[in-house]
Amino acid sequence: MLLLHRTVVLGLRQACRLKSTPSKLCIQACSTNDSFQPQPLSLTSGDNCGTRRWKVMGTLLGLGAVLAYHDHQCRASQESPRTYTKEEVSSHNTPETRIWVTLGSEVFDVTEFVDLHPGGPSKLMLAAGGPLEPFWALYAVHNQSHVRELLAQYKIGELDPEDKAAPTLETSDPYADDPMRHPALKVNSQRPFNAEPPAELLTENYITPNPIFFTRNHLPVPNLDPDTYRLHVVGASVSQSLCLSLDDLYKFPKHEITVTLQCAGNRRSEMTRVKEVKGLEWRIGAISTARWAGARLCDVLAQAGHQLSETDAHVCFEGLDSDPTGTAYGASIPLARAMDPEAEVLLAYEMNGQPLPRDHGFPVRVVVPGVVGGRHVKWLGRVSVEPEESYSHWQRRDYKGFSPSVDWDTVDFDSAPSIQELPVQSAITEPQDGETVESGEVTVKGYAWSGGGRAVIRVDVSLDGGLTWQAAELHGDEQRPRKAWAWRLWQLQAPVPAGQKELNIVCKAVDDSYNVQPDTVAPIWNLRGVLSNAWHRVHVYVAP
């Protein structure tokens, strides 16, 4: 509480200093943009005390700023407001060009407010040049009247009404029909769309909100009609094959679990620093956690007459996304996992209490807890039990690990097993590489997860590059033995050793099989840049 008090006072002081800056045009009415549907924030109770603290602080600070600015308010202009195009707004995204944002049809210049933002300047800068709605949807604390009043002071005009129309479809572009995405996502590839949430948002919530859940698409996003959608399940005999509508799928017992998905390529950018690899430059954000609901695959397979007796068989999945030759995305998992009720493999139709977003497989995707993201086939069209693994490129010629000595001239994809369960992983989301941290005390935050249902039992953090270690505090849901499908968020608050000008912060996790992360990247380097799980390291400066 002492800390909160100090922060509020500081905020008020800063606000007072700013009283002399020129006042902005402002309009009392705050219309909302109908085209954007705010995502209700799905927070599990008690999952992140850091977030709760932030909310309290944000509310207090917001209130403080409102009070300080009370005499600074202006009346709505009587003249018709000036209009701007979206393009104009988007060019105002640095302090030099001034920082503009939109809410509904209104345009605001928040340059002077950035340093006062209770959540920190960096969070507000995520919205620079674009709409606030996606971020307000993430941070429910903004949905209060005093925040809207505060913002109103910075209004400079309206969006050009003609600019509100949806962009024209370019029918020659197979990606033209891809859905709109959250502007906070850091895009690694537009076509196909691949993007990750910024590190500082990643561990803000235990459950990743749908709009910023990392997206890994291999092909254009199909636009499927839920009424005509059918899932084909090849039966043990022809007469047992199923053709399931969504309503048919809803009739199976609904099973709900919290599962972390991670792309095999997460943290690939660190491998690239060792030597070039083939693949998207994922930073630490190709991992997210959601609450999934759907039918259990074992129930559907049982209805199609399948049994576990075919012990060496595989369940093959085919997506409804396809390339120009008609080849669909595909993958497979062992039948033993698919038929094991304890493995909880889902044909999921809900993500965090909502229908799956299009980018995440609407209307149905596979969720294979503890297994690499590439097997969680989206836009699921077909399920079959086969004597061998899927013949898909992504099953047989991709997503496999090799020795660092193997290059594209010598690689033999048949010599390595397809990645299924992933190894233990962790990363630091805060502070970030190159940041300056306060002297005195540093707060280090991050995530940790392991494949195969193995629980994370400890995260060690070092401030001196790995010479000495401290165990971090683990947050998040209690983990069920053998079914720890979701990550743990963690945090360490530690004194900054006196006199240190720089810190080499390192984290490493331990799972309940006591597997650990390797110290360095080079010895696990592989030509495809997958399975990058060495200690995560960030280098920061200490404020003098």
Shortest spacing between CB 165 and its own copies, in angstroms: 48
Shortest spacing between CB 515 and its own copies, in angstroms: 4
Shortest spacing between CB 451 and its own copies, in angstroms: 5
Residues 84, 139, 154, 216: which is the catalytic one?
216
Shortest spacing between CB 516 and its own copies, in angstroms: 5
Residues 92, 142, 255, 365: which is the catalytic one?
142
End-to-end CA distance of the chain: 26
Residue 142 appears among annotated catalytic residues: yes
Shortest spacing between CB 230 and its own copies, in angstroms: 32
Residue 306 appears among annotated catalytic residues: no
Angle formed by the axes of helices 49-68 and 145-152, nearest 10°: 50
Residues 263, 298, 316, 507: which is the catalytic one?
263
Query: What does DSSP assign to residue 257?
Result: E
Residues 365, 399, 454, 488: which is the catalytic one?
399
Contact between 512 and 457 under an 8 Å Cβ cutoff? The reply is: yes
Shortest spacing between CB 217 and its own copies, in angstroms: 24
Helix (H, G, I), strand (E, B) or coil at 400: strand
Nearest to 19 by CA among 99, 73, 87, 76: 73
Query: What does DSSP assign to residue 114?
Result: G
Helix boundaries (H) for 21-82: 49-68
Shortest spacing between CB 262 and its own copies, in angstroms: 12
CB atoms closer than 10 angstroms to residue 143: 12
Torsion over CA: 524, 529, 533, 535 (sign): positive
- Residue number, 205 or 479, with CB nearest to its own copies: 479
Cα separation, 308 vs 75, in Å, equals 72
- Residue number, 316 or 424, with CB nearest to its own copies: 424
Using alpha carbons only, give the angle 322, 325, 327 rounded to the nearest 5 degrees.
40
- Residue number, 36 or 469, with CB nearest to its own copies: 469
Cα separation, 318 vs 316, in Å, equals 7
- Residue number, 217 or 260, with CB nearest to its own copies: 260
Cα separation, 169 vs 304, in Å, equals 40
Ramachandran assignment for 133, one of left (phi > 0), alpha (psi -120 to 50 degrees), beta (any other):
alpha
- Residue number, 52 or 480, with CB nearest to its own copies: 480
CB atoms closer than 10 angstroms to residue 393: 16
- Residue whose pair of structure tokens reads 């707004």 in the numeric block: 89
> In what helix (H) or strand (E) does residue 338 lie, and over which residues does it extend?
helix 335-339
- Residue number, 370 or 431, with CB nearest to its own copies: 370
- Residue number, 328 or 524, with CB nearest to its own copies: 524
Q: What is the identity of the amino acid at 393?
A: H
- Residue number, 105 or 420, with CB nearest to its own copies: 420
Nearest to 94 by CA among 111, 107, 115: 111
Cα separation, 66 vs 509, in Å, equals 43
With 0-12 / 13-18 / 19 or more C-beta atoms within 10 angstroms meaning exposed / middle / buried, residue 9 is exposed
Cα separation, 134 vs 37, in Å, equals 9
| Residues facing residue 346 across a β-bridge | 296, 367
Query: What does DSSP assign to residue 188?
Result: E
The residues of the shown chain that bind its own copies, judged by CB under 8 A, are 312, 334, 336, 401, 403-406, 416-417, 419-424, 451-452, 457-458, 460, 466, 468-471, 481-482, 508, 510, 512-520, 523-524, 531
- Residue number, 246 or 416, with CB nearest to its own copies: 416
The encoded tokens of residue 213 equal 């859940």
Q: Who contacts 287 (Cβ-Cβ below 8 Å, separation ≥6)?
A: 202, 214, 260, 261, 262, 263, 266, 425, 447, 449, 487
Shortest spacing between CB 500 and its own copies, in angstroms: 18
- Residue number, 175 or 469, with CB nearest to its own copies: 469
Helix (H, G, I), strand (E, B) or coil at 429: strand
Helix (H, G, I), strand (E, B) or coil at 420: coil
Shortest spacing between CB 381 and its own copies, in angstroms: 27
Shortest spacing between CB 216 and its own copies, in angstroms: 18
Contact between 271 and 277 under an 8 Å Cβ cutoff? The reply is: yes
Residue 182 appears among annotated catalytic residues: no
Which residues are catalytically annotated? 117, 142, 216, 263, 399
